[in-house]
Amino acid sequence: MALYLTKELDNEATIYVWEITESEEELMNMCSIPKDELEELSMISSEARRKEKLAVRALLGEIFDEKVYLGHHDNGRPFLHNSAQEISISHTNRFVAIITHRDEYLGIDIESLNRNFAAVEKKVLSEDEIDDLSEKDENRNRQLAIIWCAKEAIYKRMSLMGVDFAEQIEIDKFTPHDEGTLDAVFTHKDGMEMEFELEYMVFEGHVMVWLVG
C-alpha cells in the first residue's frame, strides 16, 4: 500500500494522498473496476495516465470500508453512487489526492513544481495578480503553481461550465511558503461574489491546494 498522507482538517474534511509506487499490474490487482471502466482504460495509450486512474480506485478502496462506485456529473464533478460523502480528486504522475466531507462542496488540486507555469501567467491571471508576482524566477514559479492550483480547486468546487479563470477567480496577494492560507473571490457572471479561504502545502516537489464549503 502506498498511502502517503492522511490529513484531518478542523472543518471535518479529510485529505488522503496516495504515492504511485506500484506497477500497473499491481494497481489493477488492488482495484475492483467495472467493465465499462476497464474498456475506457484499454483505450488510454499512456501508461502513466492509466496508473493515475487505477491509483484513484486504489485510494478509494483504502478510504472506504465498503466498495464505492465512482461517477461523474456532466460538468466533470466526481461523486460516489453509493455514498453521501462529497469528494474531490486530483492527480499527477506521482500522487493522487482525494478530499472528502460528509456534506460540504469541495475542491482540491495537486501539481508538480517541475512543471513550468509561465503559460499560466498569460492565460489565467488578472492584471492585479500579475502585478503581485515575485520577481525571482524560483519564487515566481512556485507562486504561479499555487495560484493555478487554487483556481482549479475553486473551479472544481463551483462545478460550473465556461468559467473564465482570469476574470471570475481572483486570488489575493500572498507570499508563498511551505504551507499557508489564501483568500479568493469567485464572481458569478451575474456579478454576485463568493469569498473563499483556501489552504495549501508544498511537499516532495508538489503543491496541493484545497477548500471546503
Q: What is the pLDDT of residues 192-212, one digit of tens each?
A: 999 999 999 999 999 999 999
For residues 93 and 119, state if they share a domain.
Answer: no
Confidence of residue 1 (pLDDT cuts 50, 70, 90): low
**Contact (CB, 8 A) for 98 and 13:** no
pLDDT in tens, 8-41: 999 999 999 999 999 989 988 888 777 777 778 8
Residue partners of 88: CB distance under 8 A and separation at least 6: 77, 78, 98, 99, 106, 107, 108, 153, 156, 157, 210
89 and 114 inside one domain: no
Domain total of the chain: 2
The CATH number for 60's domain is 3.90.470.20
Of residues 53 and 38, more confidently modeled: 53
160 and 178 together in one domain: yes
C-alpha cell at position 93? 504522475
Query: The domain that contains 138 carries what CATH number?
Result: 3.90.470
Residue 75: give the domain boundaries.
3-104
Task: Tell how far CA 129 is from the center of its chain.
Answer: 21
Are residues 98 and 127 both part of a single domain? Answer: no
CA angle 145, 115, 174 (to 5 degrees): 15
pLDDT tier, 138 (very low <50, low <70, confident <90, very high otherwise): confident
Whether 99 and 125 map to the same domain: the answer is no
DSSP 3-state of 198: strand
Could you tell me if 86 and 161 lie in one domain? no
Q: Are 35 and 19 in the same domain?
A: yes
Question: How many whole angstroms separate alpha carbon 57 and alpha carbon 77?
Answer: 16
